[in-house]
């Protein structure tokens, strides 16, 4: 939570999607503005001319068939994609009006403000406590008292506090998959990010855990902007405010989720959401 000017609007935003989020009159702040983004893995053109504006305190879903570039796009938003050595990028991604693709932009800074949750839960092989404290610690917070508070707050925020509060010093790998994933979300929350990126966060989870994570996402959007990749169209429909449909590295359609699922303007979108391919 970085910007200060938005506190007043927060209360407004506490409303379920069913009430029609995204169509409300108040203009939203743009968190991410992607302009003419192109990305290649070696010779493979994975993202083609992406233009997307992503808004504050919304859940933005990215859908599309396998290999269409969803993960690539979301990983570009925190520049994690650069871990692949052959990657080349052109275009601009403005995060809070600064171009993160700029050479001078420090990725560590970016990633401190933009949390990420991965497809497969990836807790560190440390205790639950240490998992959460990891982020604050690397950013220089040493005080045991402060850390304790952060840990509790983050675990509560990720709705897992009650399940783990008595075993904070046990290894995180003792948790179930769903718990691990919520732990990873809590880990994200611990550094109080501005945006949370989620790449198919529930695809490795059972239905009950999935439901819990979905509820959590709904809650989190009060405080964070969330971008979520999902294969599951029902999920996108259930939890997101806006949806972008990717195909072959292009954005076919980007609209309010209600509209995408009820009245898509592109034939391919319709084919996809009705299960005709993908």
Ligand X SMILES: Nc1ncnc2c1ncn2[C@@H]1O[C@H](COP(=O)(O)OP(=O)(O)OP(=O)(O)O)[C@@H](O)[C@H]1O
Residues at the contact surface with other proteins, assessed by CB under 8 A: 1-2, 78, 80, 83, 85, 106-116, 118, 120, 122-126, 134-141, 146, 149-150, 152-153, 156-157, 159, 161, 173, 184, 187-188, 190-192, 197, 215, 219, 222-223
90: left (phi over 0), alpha (psi -120 to 50) or beta: beta
Among 34, 53, 32, 37, which residue's Cα sits nearest to residue 88? 37
93 is written with which tokens? 């991604």
The label of the residue with tokens 């980007």 reads: 254
| Binding window for ligand X (CB under 6 A); candidates: 5-13, 69-77, 110-118, 265-273 | 69-77
Cβ contact 178:212 at 8 Å: yes
38 is written with which tokens? 């192109």
* Per CB under 6 A, 84 contacts ligand X: yes
Q: Which contiguous run of DSSP H or E holds residue 128? A: helix 128-138
Cα within 13 Å of Cα(9), Cβ side: 16
Residue 258 CB, nearest approach to other proteins (Å): 23
| Binding window for ligand X (CB under 6 A); candidates: 2-10, 16-24, 66-74, 155-163 | 66-74
* Per CB under 6 A, 236 contacts ligand X: no
* Per CB under 6 A, 67 contacts ligand X: yes
* Per CB under 6 A, 68 contacts ligand X: yes
Q: What dihedral angle (degrees, nearest 10) is formed by the CA atoms of 247, 249, 253, 258?
A: 70
Closest CB to other proteins among residues 3, 24? 3
d(CA 265, CA 255): 10
d(CA 142, CA 133): 9
Q: Which of 21, 34, 57, 72 binds ligand X (CB under 6 A)?
A: 72
| Binding window for ligand X (CB under 6 A); candidates: 41-49, 147-155, 160-168, 219-227 | 41-49
Q: Among Mg ion, ligand X, other proteins, none, what binds residue 45 when CB lies within 5 to 8 Å by partner kind?
A: none
Residues near ligand X (CB under 6 A) are 41, 44, 46, 64, 66-72, 84, 231
């Amino acid at each position: 939570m970085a910007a200060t000017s938005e506190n007043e609007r927060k209360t407004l935003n506490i409303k379920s999607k069913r009430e029609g989020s995204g169509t409300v009159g108040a203009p939203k702040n743009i968190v991410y503005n992607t302009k003419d983004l192109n990305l290649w893995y070696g010779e493979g053109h994975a993202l083609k001319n992406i233009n997307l504006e992503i808004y504050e305190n919304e859940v933005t879903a990215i859908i599309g068939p396998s290999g269409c570039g969803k993960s690539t796009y979301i990983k570009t938003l925190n520049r994690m994609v650069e871990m692949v050595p052959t990657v080349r990028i052109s275009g601009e991604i403005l995060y809070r009006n600064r171009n993160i693709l700029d050479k001078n932009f420090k990725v560590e800074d970016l990633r401190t403000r933009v949390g990420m949750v991965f497809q497969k839960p990836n807790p560190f092989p440390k205790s639950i406590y240490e998992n959460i404290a990891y982020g604050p610690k690397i950013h220089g917070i040493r005080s045991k008292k402060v850390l304790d508070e952060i840990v509790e707050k983050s675990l509560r925020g990720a709705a897992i506090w009650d399940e783990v509060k008595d075993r904070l010093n046990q290894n995180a790998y003792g948790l179930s998959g769903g718990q691990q994933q919520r732990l990873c979300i809590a880990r994200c929350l611990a550094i109080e990010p501005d945006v949370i990126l989620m790449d198919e966060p529930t695809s490795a989870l059972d239905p009950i855990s999935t439901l819990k994570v979905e509820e959590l996402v709904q809650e989190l959007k009060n405080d964070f902007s969330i971008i979520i990749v999902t294969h599951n169209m029902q999920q996108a429909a259930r939890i997101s405010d806006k949806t972008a449909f990717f195909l072959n590295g292009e954005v076919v359609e980007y609209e309010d989720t209600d509209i995408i699922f009820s009245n898509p303007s592109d034939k391919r979108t319709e084919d996809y959401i009705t299960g005709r391919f993908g």
